[in-house]
Amino acid sequence: MLRSTVLLRQPLTRRVTAQCMRPTTSSWRAYSTSSHKTNSGTPSFAAMLAVASMGFAAYSMLIKSREGQAMPRRQGAGQGEQQSSAEPLKKVQEHEQPGQPIPAFSSDEVTVVFVLGGPGAGKGTQCENLKRDYGFVHLSAGDLLRAEQKRPESKYGELINHYIREGLIVPMEVTIALLENAMKEAMETSKSTRFLIDGFPRKMDQAIKFEEVVVPSKVVLYFECPEEVMLKRLLKRGESSGRIDDNIESIKKRFNVFTETSFPVIEAFEKQNKVKKVHCDQPVENVYKEVKTVFDTMFANDKN
């Protein structure tokens, strides 16, 4: 059984240090949970206004749509109505009622591995290997957001586009709903119950909410990689990815957001002894050897 999410519920102001998690490469910045801000990670005033108003609109819609709603009973995997991705916020609103939230899935039945690490560390590459060899479903939060952004009927296209370009973290209501919908769909279509959640959670509130309303994670795979290596990989990827954030300006912002906001999530999971660290500054095959060691140990006799 998993340990509870006690640590994740501790006040976020609590200063956590996990020396073992800190990068050792001298040229890589020191990770700290203190909240210093850097200019390169700060959007312009106009951009902030735009983000604030878009974010406010999304939250207003969420709150408005909750009004007069009775508390629905959460349903297990493979049951209940199919949730269209047309309205991702609807999914989370079900959880946002007073009282103790009920996770959508039981961690006895559904296995979630969070795959975390800086941009370009190689998460997606290794997830595809794991999908092939271990039968996990690979859900990239970034890919789900990009698909939602491109969906013509989406209300959140512009909002997602802005957040991704600025390297900022999209409000969790959107991302959690997309993830839960995708999990549900995979369970219904392929009866899969093992998930690699790639690039999520990137923020404490996302981690807490997902484990409360979807399912607690089993393990966190942390892809440790020096910044200069990630930078090189991202610039190379940017030559053909067509991604609006694989450019030097966006990359710098993403690095700052990772250091200041996402790395503390990894530290918090480390305090729960959930983190398995993989060294990514080596060829793909060698990284995968490390990843396989973790999975062979963790899931050798696991039926989930």
Ligand X SMILES: Nc1ncnc2c1ncn2[C@@H]1O[C@H](COP(=O)(O)OP(=O)(O)O)[C@@H](O)[C@H]1O
Ligand Y SMILES: O=c1ccn([C@@H]2O[C@H](COP(=O)(O)OP(=O)(O)O)[C@@H](O)[C@H]2O)c(=O)[nH]1
Nearest to 256 by CA among 146, 159, 169, 158: 169
Identify which range of 53-61, 148-156, 164-172, 259-267 contacts ligand Y by CB under 6 A: 164-172
Residues 177-216 that bind ligand Y (CB under 6 A): 199-200, 202
Closest to ligand X by CB, 85 vs 125, is 125
Min dist CB 270 to ligand Y, Å, is 19
Which token pair is 280?
């990514």
167 marked among binding-site residues: no
| Using rule CB under 6 A, residue 202 touches ligand X | no
Phi/psi of residue 180, nearest 5 degrees:
-65, -40
Residue 130 annotated as part of some ligand binding site? no
- Alpha-carbon distance of 254 to 40, in angstroms, equals 10
244 binds ligand X (CB under 6 A): no
- DSSP code per residue over 153-206: T-SSHHHHHHHHHTTPPPPHHHHHHHHHHHHHHHHHHH---EEEEET---SHHH
Residues β-bridged to residue 202 = none
Contact (Cβ atoms closer than 8 angstroms) between residue 165 and residue 50: no
The answer to whether 206 is annotated as binding is: yes
β-strands 194-198, 137-140 pairing? parallel
Binding-site partner at residue 85 among ligand X, ligand Y, none, CB < 5 to 8 Å by type? none
Are the C-beta atoms of 66 and 93 separated by less than 8 Å?
Answer: yes
Q: CB nearest ligand Y: which residue?
A: 142
User: Is residue 274 at the binding interface for ligand Y, with CB under 6 A as the rule?
Assistant: no
- Give the one residue of 98, 99, 152, 283 binding ligand X; rule: CB under 6 A: 283
Contact 123, 115 (CB under 8 A): yes
Closest alpha carbon to 139 in 89, 102, 91, 192: 192
Compute the least distance from the CB of residue 208 to ligand X, in Å: 23
Which positions from 251 to 280 touch ligand X by CB under 6 A, shown as an x/- string? -----------------------------x
Name which of residues 122 to 141 contact ligand Y (CB under 6 A): 123, 140-141
Q: What is the dihedral of CA 148, 220, 242, 236, to 10 degrees?
A: 180
Q: Which residues ranging from 81 to 140 are in contact with ligand X (CB under 6 A)? A: 117, 119-125
For residues 62 and 170, which CB has a smaller minimum distance to ligand Y in the complex? 170
243 is an annotated ligand-binding site residue: yes
Q: Per the annotation, does 254 bind a ligand? A: yes
Q: Which of 41, 89, 94, 119 binds ligand Y (CB under 6 A)?
A: 119
Residues annotated within a binding site for ATP: 120-125, 237, 282
Binding site for ligand X (CB under 6 A): 117, 119-125, 233, 236-237, 280, 283-284, 287
